[in-house]
Each structure stands twice: as structure tokens, then as C-alpha cells.
Structure 1
Amino acid sequence: MKTLHSEWIKLRSLRSTWLTLACLFVVGLGITALAANATGDIWAEATAADRQVWDPTGHSLTAYIVAQLIVGVLGILVVTSEFATGLMSTTLTATPRRTRVLAAKVALAAVVALVAGEALMFGAFLIGQPLISRQGVPSAALGDPGVLKAVLAGGLYLAAIGLLAVGLGALLRATAGALATLVGIVFLVPALAGLFPSWLRGIFDFWPTLGGAAALNVVPDPDYPHPWVNLAGMCLAVAGVLVAAFLVFRRRDVV
């Protein structure tokens, strides 16, 4: 508990923590408003087939696309900020059990990312749906079938991204390197899927961030018919990265 309390003091004393969280909500809710205001034009141009699979919940949760990057920055800084300032040596002198230090960082990042992620997703839904409805477009309510699960899934997805970022930060020990790797995992590799040989494209049926994000939709994605299984698989992959981070963090020199 003392280690956890110490990590909390360090995290809340960093200006970057609060700036990152403020950016998460300002940018996330701003994107929600823009996306919701665009639904009128999208609905007007939609075909009958498109309207059959219209998902107002998914439209109001599109902020996760950018939010995952901001949450990732926060998760990376939980670890790399101490390497950058040299404070990690002091931390490990005070708490020689390295696994305890990293476990405290992981636990703290998980709680902060989950609370912030759920708050953002609920805020995005509650702001987005009235804006969608005001344009004469079908909207959703939290009590509708599958809606609450989708909103909750958004927070869980962002928490998983935050933990992935912590693991990458511990493995790479540099903010720029960890962030570049995170961007590659979340954005670049899926975007370049079409460039891979046909015999390799099957892996994208199981790429964690693609399948996990499908859980944010109420209308099932035909490519991911079991999104919660995909989200669980994503969490399992993140756990694997964290295991590697613990092994490396315990054995490698601080500098």
C-alpha cells in the first residue's frame, strides 16, 4: 500500500497527468459533438441497406479512436517520466523489489484509465445522442438492448490500451519509442493490412485492437461476430506484454 500511495503522489503531482486528462475530455467530447452533428448528412445520403444497420451508439462513441492515443500517452508517462528524469534510480533504492514498483504503476494506471475511459464514454453517449436526435436521425437510450454493454466496453477498451502503454513504456523506457510502437499497433498495422500478402491477412481477423473495438458497437460487425471474445483476447494480449515488461524490468539495469 505504501508503494501504491507513493506512486499516486508522483502521478498526481505531475502537471502532464492533469493536462493529458484534460486533453482526453476536451478532445474526446469535441470529436463526439462533431461526429454527432455530421450524422444528419450521413443519414440523408444513406441507402436503405445502410439504414438497416444504423448504429447511433457506435456513432457517439467514435471518440475512442483518438482517446486511445491520449490514454496511451498517459500510460506511457506513468513509467517513462521517471526514466527521463532519473527518478527511477531513487524509486528503486527506496523500494528494491522492482516487481512491487511496477505492479503499483500498473494498478494505478488501470484504475485511472478505467475511470477516465468510462467517464468519457458515458459523457460521449449522453452528449452525442441528443445531438443525433435533434437532426431527425434515429438515436439510442442507455436502456436499449446492448447499449449499456457497448458504452461499458468503451471504457474497458481504453483501460486495456492504457495498460498496453504501461507495458511498452517499461519495455522501451523512452516516451517517443513507446508512443511510436503504440501508434504502430493501434493505427499503422491495421491501416496497412491491405498491403500484406494474402496468406498473412488472416491475422487481422484476430488483431487485438480491431476486434476489441468492435465491442463498442450495438449492431454486430460481420467481421467480428463475437466482439466480447475479441475484447477478452485483446486483454490477454495486453497481459502478455505486461508479463514481458515485468521480466525485463526486474532484470535490466535502470540506466
Structure 2
Amino acid sequence: MSARVVFFGHALHAEWVKLRSLRSTWYTLACLFGVGLGITVLATGRAGEVYGSASAAERLAWDPTERSLTAYLVAQLVIGVLGTLVVTSEYATGLVRTSLAVTPRRHRLLAAKVVVAAAVAVVAGQVLMFATFLVGQGLFASQNVPHARLGDPGVLSAVVGGGLYLAAIAVLAIGLGTIMRATAGALTAVVGIVFLVPALAGLFPSWFQGLLDFWPSQGAAAVFATVPNPAYPHPWLNLGGMCLGVAVVLASAFVVFQRRDV
């Protein structure tokens, strides 16, 4: 009897079934929205006091869109957990051997994981950004603080860009999870990239400073703002640079996954 040919569509379906069957997927998504909306309420709930005591220069730089999207700072870590578990959960349980037995072409298996997880991350990220924006602007309006509408210049671009930013973080986590094969190691790397490196930016040599223009939580995060930042005048270019870096990590993951035993 000839072996059954596994097409990419079959691999996609299998990965979707596995992803939606994991309780950790739903717990992580619930945490993403719970934490994201909670941080939005905390960040915008006292906007009236903050704006009332602000100086003229601070009021001129007031960016209600960016303020309502600050939940991304923690949301990127949560969605990174989702991306990591797509790969590392199979290594932890040994299911990766079964997956490779069913889909022996490794590049096809990993590509299916990336496509499914990225699709979920894009949808979750966009829904979260729109939700936090609407909640934040509603709280601003209730406190008689200048607020924004989706039709205002640059607002829709910032919200959509924020969703894409989160999806890119999820794909980065998939790549790191594939390379490291361990949840703890991959999450440590994600935390180091999105939090530790930006916090220690001033300690790095001058040649590294240019990379920070495209770094998560640094230059790439300029996409969340509608008030122009002189340091990052082209936020979509910064976000594109970050996505290029993520693509390099993901390409490395494909090479590593293809060459090692498991």
C-alpha cells in the first residue's frame, strides 16, 4: 500500500485542529484580552487628572491614540507566549515525533504552524488594538479629555499597525521556540528582546544604535503614535525593518528544524 501524500492543506488543517484543541491557546488568548483591556482602563482611567495638570507643551504632544494602545507593552509578551507554545508544547509532550511521522517534510510542517499561528495572532492582535482604542477613547471622552476617532488622520494606521506589530512578535516567538525547543528558553529570549535590550539601549556601542530604530518596544513601536516623533519620522519603515529581522530569525528556524534530528 502506498503512503498517503500529505499536502500543505492537510498540514494546515492538522495544525489548526491542534492549536484550537489546546487549552493553553484559549487561556493565553483570554489572558491577552483580559490583561490588554485591564491595562487600558488603568492607563486611561485618570486621564482627566493627568491632562488637567499638564503643561502647554505636554498638551500639545498629547496623543490619545498612543495612550489608549499602551497595552501592547504587556500584550506583546502574552502573544509571544502563544507563538512559543505552538512549537515548544509539542517538544514538551513528544508529539513532535508524531507530527513528523505524519508530515515528514519538515519545511511543510513548520510552514503550516507559522501560517496558522500567524493568522490567529493577526486576528487577535487587530481585535485587541481596536478594542483598546475604543475603550480608551470612550474613557477620554467621559473625562472631557481630547480624544480621537478612527477617521482622524493617522489613527487607523496606528491601530492597524499595532495589530501587525503584535502578529510579528508572535512569529518571532515561533522562530525562537523552534530554535530553542524549550518554552522557558524561548520566552526568556522574547523578554530579553522586547524589554531588556530597549531598557539597556544606552549601554550598547554606537554601531548597534542604528538597529534600535527597528527594534521591538523601540523604533518599531513608533507605529502606535499619531503625533510625529522626530527620532522616528517614518514609523512604517521602522516596523518593516522589525519584520525583516523577524523573517531572518524565522528563516534560521527553518534551517535548524530541517537539519537536526528532531
Aligned residue number for residue 110 of structure 2: 102
Distance 1:166 1:159 in 2: 11
Which of 229, 236, 241 is equivalent to 1:233? 241
**Shift of residue 203, structure 1, vs aligned partner:** 3.8
- Deviation by residue 1:26-85 (Cα, 9 ceiling, x = unmatched): 110011111111212221221111111110000100111100000000000000000000
1:176 aligns with 2:184: yes
- Correspondence list, 1:111-122, <5 A: 111-122=119-130
1:90 aligns with 2:114: no
Structure 2: which amino acid aligns with 1:80?
T
1:19 aligns with 2:37: no
Q: How many residues align?
A: 254
Please identify runs of 4+ aligned residues in structure 1 that moved more than 6 A: none
Distance 2:239 2:208 in 1: 22
Structure 1, unpaired ranges of 5+: none
Structure 2: which amino acid aligns with 1:33?
V
Distance 2:207 2:226 in 1: 31
Which of 58, 68, 72 is equivalent to 1:60? 68
**Shift of residue 199, structure 1, vs aligned partner:** 5.9
Structure 1: which amino acid aligns with 2:86?
V
Structure 1: which amino acid aligns with 2:174?
V
TM-score, L = length of structure 2: 0.94
Which of 41, 45, 48 is equivalent to 1:40? 48
Aligned residue number for residue 3 of structure 2: none
1:223 aligns with 2:231: yes
1:75 aligns with 2:83: yes
Identical pairs, percent:
67
Aligned-CA RMSD value: 1.2
- Deviation by residue 1:193-222 (Cα, 9 ceiling, x = unmatched): 123345644443343541211101111112
Matched residue of 1:161: which SS? helix
- Correspondence list, 1:181-200, <5 A: 181-197=189-205, 200=208
Structure 1: which amino acid aligns with 2:178?
A
Structure 2, unpaired ranges of 5+: 1-8
Q: 1:94 to 1:202 in 2, by over 3 A?
A: closer
Distance 1:45 1:199 in 2: 40
Matched residue of 1:4: which SS? helix
